[in-house]
Chains A and B, each alone.
Chain A
Amino acid sequence: MKASIYKNRLVTISSILTLFLVWSMAAAVVGKEIILPSPLVTLTQLYHLLTSGGFWTHLGATLSRGLLGFGLSFLAGLFFGLLSGLHSAFKSFFHLWLTVIRSTPSMALILLALIWFESDAVTLFVTFLVVFPLITQNVTEGLAQIDPRLKEMARLYRVRFPTILYRMYLPAILPYLATAAAAGLGLTWKVMIAAEVLAYPRWGIGARMDTARTYLQTPEVFAWTIVVITISLFFDRILNALIRKQLLYWE
């Protein structure tokens, strides 16, 4: 056990080292910071960002916007997912809508939102439309997995609805909800940054990335990208930990 953990660590470390090595070599070959900055230049830039004023405001703005967008999508997805999972009429009714929304390119959503709303609303709107269908469909699917005989039994024994919800439906949808939440949160950051780049809110990582691009500060674009990757990984970890705890509890 211990040996295998050690071995895993070794693989991870060598993976990171290889990444940096390939990156450094590519940067050396290209030889232009404006096209591909080296890891060293990028990390120095990242340090400057972290210590500069405004960094935390931009980070906070993107984080709060992302979490708000994700939270709204999650709640709405849970609600509509339960509705369509419990009543097949709702499911058929929403099916077309969800398929249309999911098939719309997120760039098209952003472009339309730019015409309709102001910048802060654009980012929320787009995140919602991307993440909400994902959650809804997963919840619906989770409910579809419940054994019909179990449902029949609950009906025959006149089990009260809250109990059914808590004891039967929730355990059924939880694994699906967990997968959807992880995928949805990952998508949230990607879509949020794309929307911020185009919508240009006063504060936000995407807006800073665009300014850096305007000034051809490629190292800064790289540094912000690292910040976004870190955010994404951080929340992925937290979510995973939460899910593991919750699933254990249910089992």
Chain B
Amino acid sequence: MWKKTFITGCLILILVVASPLLTANKAGETPINVMVLSGTTGLSLVKLLEEQPQIAPGVTFNYTVIKSPDQMSAKIIAGEADIAAVPTNLASILYNRGIPVQLAAITNWGVMYVVGRDATITTWADLKGKEIGVTGKGSTPDLLFRYFLQANGIDPERDVQIRYYASPAELAQLVIADKVHLATLPEPWVTEALSRNAALRVLLDYQKEWARLEKRDVSYPQSALVVKTQLAVEKKAAVRAFLQAAAASSAWVVENPSAAGVLAEKHLSISSTAATAAIPRCNLRFDETHQVQPEIGYFLEKLYSFQPQSIGGKLPDEGFYLQK
């Protein structure tokens, strides 16, 4: 009896230990692990998640969808993620903290909006005296929000009441339930809120305000793809091919919102109608780093001026930007 149990136990142990080896050896070499966030950063890559195409000869790409930015940074620090979708400022923090990653591409150019039911708010100056919900103190959305207020002559400490919430998911629920009347939300939560409470409107647009204040043609580079430095050197061709495939996926999503919505529901746990409606507001535009490096540098400099720690205490050097 005991002997049998023991032998079974040993067999299970051997299987458990050996199983990663088996899957890893199938492709002949270690696969490249691509990790995306289940939000708008994942949205542009949804076609890759669905089709899992053969991007480069002899290289397998494994796709994982991660729920929160915290888990994502843990995976990157642990070296488990080879290519990962992260907020641009987090990429800079990781690089400045000595984690060997490089910025490969920008995936979207801002997904932040102010949502509420008070239609009299049409400019940022109208926020004076209001109470407003913001997520993630010290995050890019928070820093930009305070900047926009100040630029419109509003003191964020005195003229408005900012209440902080832990996550957009939580804040969106409170907005839908009318417990919070004004909130800054990212997509796809904006669409989620609008579709579940008919009284809500998109009142203000971060992206337009940024372009207006900074006198720039484009909005700010909010989310990015990072690549492990070692991988970028050793498998340059595969990385390049991946970036091209990702750009194609992004373009396809923008042109086919309804088909992309269906895939988003399957892979990213966003409802297909919400995803379809959200896509035009997600400012998806895939640019490789070398195409838009001045814009990224400008954005990071600006964040640095608000709060140096938000990009890791200093501007990243040239090694941060993946070159062609």
Contact = CB atoms under 8 A, between A and B. Distances in A.
Nearest to B179: A115
B166 interface: yes
A198 B166 contact: yes
Interface string A202-218: 00000100110111110
A119 interface: yes
B165 A200 contact: yes
B312 A215 contact: yes
Contacts of B166: 114, 198, 200
Nearest to A202: B164
Interface stretch (B132-140, B199-207, B208-216): B132-140
B73 A216 contact: yes
A211 B77 contact: no
Interface stretch (A8-16, A28-36, A62-70, A81-89): A28-36
B163 A217 contact: no
A32 B77 contact: yes
A207 B94 CA distance: 21
Contacts of A34: 77, 97-99
Given A33-B98, A217-B309, 18 more contacts: A32-B77, A32-B99, A34-B97, A34-B98, A35-B77, A114-B166, A114-B170, A119-B163, A119-B164, A198-B166, A200-B164, A207-B137, A210-B137, A214-B136, A214-B137, A215-B138, A215-B310, A216-B94
Contacts of A207: 137
B138 A214 contact: yes
Contacts of A118: 163
A33 B310 CA distance: 17
Interface residues of A, number: 17
Contacts of A119: 163-164
A214 B163 contact: no
Nearest to A35: B77
B94 A32 contact: no
Contacts of B310: 215
Nearest to A214: B138
Contacts of B309: 215, 217
26 contacts: A32-B97, A32-B99, A33-B97, A33-B98, A34-B97, A34-B98, A35-B77, A114-B166, A119-B163, A119-B164, A198-B166, A200-B166, A210-B137, A211-B137, A211-B138, A214-B136, A214-B138, A214-B139, A215-B93, A215-B310, A215-B312, A216-B90, A216-B93, A216-B97, A216-B312, A217-B309
Interface in B165-221: 165-166, 170
Interface in B92-107: 93-94, 97-99
B253 to A, nearest CB: 29
Looking at A119, A198, A215, the one whose CB has the most chain B CB atoms below 10 A away is: A215
Nearest to B170: A114
A88 B312 CA distance: 60
Looking at A33, A213, A217, the one whose CB has the most chain B CB atoms below 10 A away is: A217
A91 B18 CA distance: 58
Contacts of A217: 309
Nearest to A34: B97
Contacts of B312: 215-216
